[in-house]
Each structure stands twice: as structure tokens, then as C-alpha cells.
Structure 1
Amino acid sequence: MRVSRTSAAIALAAALTLTPTLAACTTVGGPSGSATPSPSVAEGAPVPAPADVMFVQMMIPHHEQAIEMSEILLAKEGLPTELYELAEQIAAEQGPEIELMRSWLRDWGMPEMGHMAGGHGGHGGHGGMDGMLSEAELDELRAAEGDEAVELFLRQMIAHHEGAIDMARDVIANGSHPDVRALVDEIIAAQQAEIDLMTDWLER
């Protein structure tokens, strides 16, 4: 019942070995007149659109929270084996994707969301992001046990995955970077398959 993604490791390895070395980042004036970094890439390398950069900056904490949710579930005892396997799978898939996206931001000379001016460290500052859980909702998952924990995890992770897919579809419409598009296609395919699986479990 596991949903496999065979190309995640390949994509990570390819990105880390093939991404061109970038020049130092430049700055442009933001709306308030403050300096805002903009991507700077080597000549001939694809330049990320603003939508590509924003997607990567937002998807890193989004993936981090999915891993946190999985770790909360894995710390519980007495739950179905298939649920533990799904949680392990989510963490195993999304961890390498986080490192891949961080490598892109480094290469583009762009900050992570938590390092941006006025940004928040941790997940509490991202409450408006599609599918992100509040700290209260995470606490609810931490406190749940047995069948309640199973149902709560599934419902929360379905909503979380749906938010990631919505974000991915947005960048398809407005992004331009081929590597980001390849990851977006992976995210949509894998997370939709997991949504279908979790929905089926809830309907049993």
C-alpha cells in the first residue's frame, strides 16, 4: 500500500551536481525602499521567476511541517502498521526535497523564508500558508491516541497535501524554471496518490 517515488533521489543528485555556480546576488529596491535580494545566475543558466523563488521559499517550511506531523505520529504506540509506513514514507520523501530546494536558494543567492526581513523562525509565522497547521492543531495531534490519532492524522495530512498541491499548481501557471517545474510535477503526482490512499483509509 506504499506509494513510491523513484526519482526523488535522482532529482536531488542531479540538482546538486548540475546546478551552475551563481554569481553574487544583486539587490533591488522593495516597495518600502529597502534592499530586496533578487536571483543572480551564471550566464546561460535558467533564471527563476519570482513565482519559482516564492514557491521554494514557502514549500520548505511546508515540507518541514509534514515531517513534524509524521514524527508526532511515529512517536505513538499501538497504531496500524500501514500508518507508520506512510508517515515514514512522507518523511523520507520530503527530507531530500527540502535539501534540494535549499540548494536552489543558495545557488540563486536567495534567503529562506525564516531568514527574510520581518520573517518568523519556525512554523508559527506561516499560518496563512495553504494547508499549514496552527500550533494548536499540532498540539491536538500530539495529544490524540488510538483511533482518534489515526483519523486526525489522516484528515490533517490530507488537508496539508492539498495545500501543497494548490501551491504547486500556482507555480505551474506563473513559474518558469525547469528544475522547479520538475519538482512540482513530482509533488503533485506523489501527494495526490497519498491523498487518494488516505481518503480510502478514512472511508473504510
Structure 2
Amino acid sequence: MTSRILTRRTGLAAVAVTTALVLAACGGNGGEGHTGHGSSAAPGASATPGAPGAAHNTQDVAFAQGMIPHHQQALEMAELADGRASSARVKDLAARIEKAQGPEIRTMTGWLRAWGAQVPMAGMDHTGHAGMSGMSGMMSDADMTALKKATGKDFDTRFLSLMVQHHRGAVEMATTEKDKGRSGAAKAMADGIVTAQNAEIKEMKQLLGTS
């Protein structure tokens, strides 16, 4: 009898030790897992940096979709200067506008594709409808027709006056992006647009004699 009792107690003790070890192991793994999750990701941060759609918001999309056709019209205006302007400074300004805004269009197009958003087609505004005159600073069809018909000093004056208006619209759009956007790259471009185009507005007003 004594032998059976001792054997039974030994078996129970072994089971208790084994159970304690298993529970300790499970508790340790659970604690490490919780700590790992808490330190590696904030609540709601499911997208990895660099993944398509990460680190941007609807304002970033609206900025790119609006600024692409806005830039496209500026390029159309600038391309007219080479054969129509009489001022070398106007021609130089137009060339700088082309050099700056062409690459920005390509960059913003890449963003929209990465974000799975619609890329505006030439001749369409940020709402996706033909005709872009409703956007801030955009020229009407009548404005563009008159500019195409102008030459010499008349062209210079029309071009500078219209481009000042156009640049002001771009600065307004870029300022909104700086305030409300999320994408670091888009906000950086917006900041560059504000700086560069404000400087060009000042330069154009000087050429017009209105500064």
C-alpha cells in the first residue's frame, strides 16, 4: 500500500512540474508576441512604406490630378513663345517653365499610377471632364486662341499677364497640398512649386512694369 501511494504521489508531482513548465513557456511566448506587435506597428498601420497606396491621402491624389492638366496648359502656353515672342527674356522664361514642369508632370503621373488613381488625359481637368477653364488660374479657350494669334510685343504682354494668373492658381493649389496632403514627395513638390512660381510671378510683373 505504502509503495503504491509513493508511486502515485511521484507521478502526480511529475505531471504538476510538466504542466507548470508548459504554462510558463506559453506565457513567455505570449508576452514576447504582444511586446513585438506593440513595438513594431501603430494601430491601423497596415501598409508598409513604399507599398502602392501607402503614405498618401485623397488630397495628394487631387493635387496630382489637378496639377497635371494645369502644368500641361502652362507648357502649351510656353511652347508658343519661341516663334511669337519678341523679348529674349520672355523666351527664356518660357523655356524655364518647360524645363521645370515637364518632368513634374511625369513624376505626378507615376504617383497616380502607383496609387491606382486615374491619370488625367490631355485636355481634361481634375474632375475628368473636357475643358479646364474652371480650375484655378486656367486659361479659357478664348484666352488661348487670342494668345496663339498674338505676335511680338502684343504676345509678350498677353503671355506674361496670363502666366501670372496661371502661376497664382498653381501656387494656390500647391499651398492646399502643403497644408492638407500626406505624401512627403507630393508635399515637397508643392513646396517647390510655391517657391519657384512666386519668384517667376515677381519676375513677370517686373517685365510688365507692374511690380
TM-score norm. by structure 2 comes to 0.71
Match in the other structure for 1:27: none
1:49-128 → structure 2 map (5 Å cutoff): 49-76=57-84, 79-114=86-121, 119-120=128-129, 124=131, 126-128=132-134
Q: Could you report, residue by residue, the CA deviation over 1:13-52 in whole angstroms, capped at 9, with x for unpaired residues?
A: xxxxxxxxxxxxxxxxxxxxxxxxxxxx952344211111
Structure with the greater alpha carbon radius of gyration: 2
* Gap regions ≥5 residues in structure 2: 1-45
Identity rate, percent: 38
Match in the other structure for 2:205: 199
Aligned partner of 2:73: which letter? Q
* Gap regions ≥5 residues in structure 1: 1-40
Separation in structure 2 between the aligned mates of residue 170 and residue 154 of structure 1, nearest angstrom: 24
Separation in structure 1 between the aligned mates of residue 84 and residue 209 of structure 2, nearest angstrom: 23
Aligned partner of 1:146: which letter? G
Structure possessing the higher relative contact order (Cα contacts under 8 Å, 6 or more residues apart): 1
Pairwise CA distance, 1:198: 0.4
Aligned partner of 1:110: which letter? A
Separation in structure 2 between the aligned mates of residue 143 and residue 42 of structure 1, nearest angstrom: 52
Separation in structure 2 between the aligned mates of residue 119 and residue 101 of structure 1, nearest angstrom: 16
Pairwise CA distance, 1:75: 2.4
Match in the other structure for 2:173: 167
Aligned partner of 1:44: which letter? P
Q: Could you report, residue by residue, the CA deviation over 1:32-82 in whole angstroms, capped at 9, with x for unpaired residues?
A: xxxxxxxxx9523442111110010000000000000001122216x1111
Match in the other structure for 1:44: 49
Match in the other structure for 1:185: 191
Runs of 4+ residues over 6 Å off in structure 1: none
Separation in structure 2 between the aligned mates of residue 42 and residue 141 of structure 1, nearest angstrom: 48
